[in-house]
Amino acid sequence: MGPVAAVLGLLLVTPAEWARADAEVDRLRAETARLEARVRELEAENARLRSHAGTAAAMESAADRGVTARVDAERAVTSLDVEPTRLELTGGNRSRHWIALHAERDAHATGRAAIQIEASASNGVYRRVEELELSLDGTRLALPVSARTATPILVGPQQQRIGERETVTVAVPVEGVARIGSAREVRGRLGPTGFVLSAEQIAAFAAVARRLAAPEAAGN
């Protein structure tokens, strides 16, 4: 097509056709901008997921290292212990509280576990408590209290009693340990005291659950 024919062709395009062409160009530009923005969002999400995966893997590794394994003299029972860590309280008794986990697995792959909650100065508030109530991502799990010990707090030369420390032991089945370890949020209530587990504490339950589920108990 020569220059004259090209000019004649442009002259034959109606204003309405020019408007439609302009609108199509604007639409394509807007679609390109939307796609570019979506690509940026996906790249940011991928970076966040990679960071989260790295953090989760590091937390899992740290939780595994935090589990102490011991085997008895007959190599019949493996004991798994997570050292006490401070509980974040949400209500009720405000003295300092710690939570620990003990589990055992015998040669027949039978497992059992117990949660211990210790209060520095609860003054007997757990004397009549019969169960620990947990909420695992909104699902209730009630665990029975199996034991309670109390130690008086004595001060001064006359050894005046000003209160008592309490340790409450709660029986938890192996599947309960696994459920706690797989939850995203764990809230609890022991008598009047509410608390929430940290991500690290939940990871510790998961680490013990993995050891209990292993073909051979850790430490054998």
What does the pLDDT look like over 17-55, one tens digit per residue?
667 777 777 787 877 777 677 766 766 665 554 545 455
- Output the average pLDDT for the chain: 83
Q: What are phi and psi of 180, to 5 degrees?
A: -65, -45
Query: What pLDDT does 12 receive?
Result: 57
Find tokens 């405000």 and name the residue. 94
pLDDT at residue 136 tops 90: yes
pLDDT level of residue 81 (50, 70, 90 thresholds): very high
pLDDT level of residue 219 (50, 70, 90 thresholds): very low
Query: What pLDDT does 63 receive?
Result: 80
How is residue 178 written in tokens? 């696994």
* Contact yes or no for 90/195 (Cβ under 8 A): yes
| Distance, CA of 44 to CA of 138 (rounded, Å) | 30
Lowest mean pLDDT among 13-22, 61-70, 93-102, 172-181: 13-22
> Which residues touch 104 (CB under 8 Å, ≥6 apart)?
77, 78, 79, 80, 111, 112, 113
Query: What pLDDT does 163 receive?
Result: 77
pLDDT at residue 146 tops 70: yes
| Distance, CA of 76 to CA of 84 (rounded, Å) | 26
Burial class (CB in 10 A: 0-12, 13-18, 19+), 188: buried
Helix, strand or coil, per DSSP, at residue 5 = helix
Write down the H helix ranges in the chain: 3-12, 15-65, 174-182, 199-213
- CA 99 to chain centroid, in Å, comes to 15
pLDDT level of residue 217 (50, 70, 90 thresholds): very low
pLDDT at residue 86 tops 90: yes
> Rounded to whole angstroms, what are the CA distances from 52 to 45, 47, 48?
10, 9, 6
pTM: 0.69
Percent of the chain with pLDDT over 90: 50
Residue ranges of domains in the chain:
1-65, 70-213
Query: What pLDDT does 152 receive?
Result: 86
pLDDT at residue 117 tops 60: yes
| Distance, CA of 115 to CA of 161 (rounded, Å) | 28
Percent of the chain with pLDDT over 70: 77
pLDDT at residue 200 tops 70: yes
